[in-house]
Amino acid sequence: MILDGKVTSKALLQEIAQEVGRLTGPTKPKLVAVLVGENPASEIYVARKMKVADELGILSELHRFPAHTEEAFLKEELEKLNQDTSVNAVLVQLPLPKQIHTERVLQTILPEKDVDGFHPINMGQLLLGIEPPALPCTPAGIMKLLDAYKIDVSGLNACVVGRSNIVGKPIMLMLTQRNATVTLCHSKTRNLEAVLESSDLVVAAIGQAHLISGNTLKRGCIVVDVGINRLPSGQLVGDVDFESAREKAAFITPVPGGVGPMTIAMLMMNTLRLHQVQQGIQVKNWLL
């Protein structure tokens, strides 16, 4: 069965739009995206985020800075957004140019406006099993997608391939919290195939086209493909070879149309939740 991120995210976005429409307070949720430089992929991602926000009635602004921007200057700009009470949610589009230290910049955003959930306080809470209002969007989107298909990960052997701070590590924590037994693999893992062969759930977040093929997967497993890779032909593909993997898997996400749309939907959900928290409204935990 295909885990359809397009259909699932559409339903989620409709719910968010309805909630935004129901807000009676003086302010609407407002999201600010900060983009440094002219990375073509980042331009596309950020434009999509702004467009979806707009469609939901969420206010959005894009703050652009040139590629040669100094770290100190960028931090000052983020401090201004921290102080601005009309702004509920702030994100810095990654990757940042080389002269800027990503972690130091992400730590500048106030935890309560950290819509990507990357601040050490929010990540630390996730580690401790305390749900922050905004969870990292891609892994949270994966969990929502699994929930939508009523997939219970409790007791499953899960293999996460890739240990990035934005996907691999937080999805490891979320799956652990939901009682999966997680093995975190990466470029130095010896014999990845052996881990994959015994895994009931595989999350691939590597960034290499078709690195995982069906013959290494356990029959009946669940495959979540986070990778976005462009082939020389221009085609977008995941880290998993979809055609061979679908022969083995019980559930699989397509690329595109799987994890990607869920990520944007979670960004919108996080924006709404941060707005609610800042208005003194209690938000319900959904993950932990």
**One residue of 186, 279, 281, 286 binding ligand NAD per CB under 6 A:** 186
Cβ atoms < 10 Å from Cβ of 69: 18
Considering 116, 225, 239, 241, which one is annotated as catalytic?
116
93 is catalytic: yes
284 tagged catalytic: no
Find the binding residues for ligand NAD in span 122-161 (CB under 6 A). 138, 161
HSE-up (13 A, CA, CB side) for residue 3: 31
Q: Which residues pair with 237 in a beta bridge?
A: 229
Using the minimum distance from each CB to ligand NAD, give the nearer residue, 189 or 278.
189
Residue 88 as a binder of ligand NAD (CB under 6 A): the answer is no
Per CB under 6 A, the list member of 28, 63, 163, 210 interacting with ligand NAD is: 163
Alpha-helix runs per DSSP H in 5-58: 5-22, 40-56
Among 46, 226, 245, 274, binds ligand NAD (CB under 6 A): 226
Distance CA 89, CA 157 (A): 35
Give yes or no: 54 in active site.
no
Query: How many other C-beta atoms lie within 10 A of the C-beta of residue 288?
Result: 16
CA distance 197 to 48: 37
> Is residue 266 near ligand NAD by the rule CB under 6 A?
no
Among 60, 199, 263, 270, binds ligand NAD (CB under 6 A): 263
The catalytic position among 4, 30, 49, 239 is: 49
Q: Which of 30, 93, 114, 276 is catalytic?
A: 93
Among 140, 185, 195, 203, binds ligand NAD (CB under 6 A): 185
| CB-CB contact of 89 with 82 (8 Å) | no
Least distance (Å) between residue 52 CB and ligand NAD: 13
Provide DSSP, 176-236: HHTT-EEEEE-TT-S-HHHHHHT-SEEEE----TT-B-GGGSPTT-EEEE---EE-TTS-E
Q: Which is nearer to ligand NAD, 20 or 205 (CB)?
A: 205
Q: Which is nearer to ligand NAD, 58 or 224 (CB)?
A: 224
Closest CA to 106 of 78, 84, 85, 72: 78
Neighbours of 149 (CB within 10 A): 13
269 binds ligand NAD (CB under 6 A): no
Is the CB of 33 or the CB of 161 nearer to ligand NAD? Answer: 161
Peptide bond into 256 cis (omega under 30): yes
| Residue numbers annotated as active site | 49, 93, 116
Contact residues for ligand NAD (CB under 6 A)? 138, 161-164, 166-168, 185-187, 189, 192, 205-208, 211, 226-229, 259-260, 263
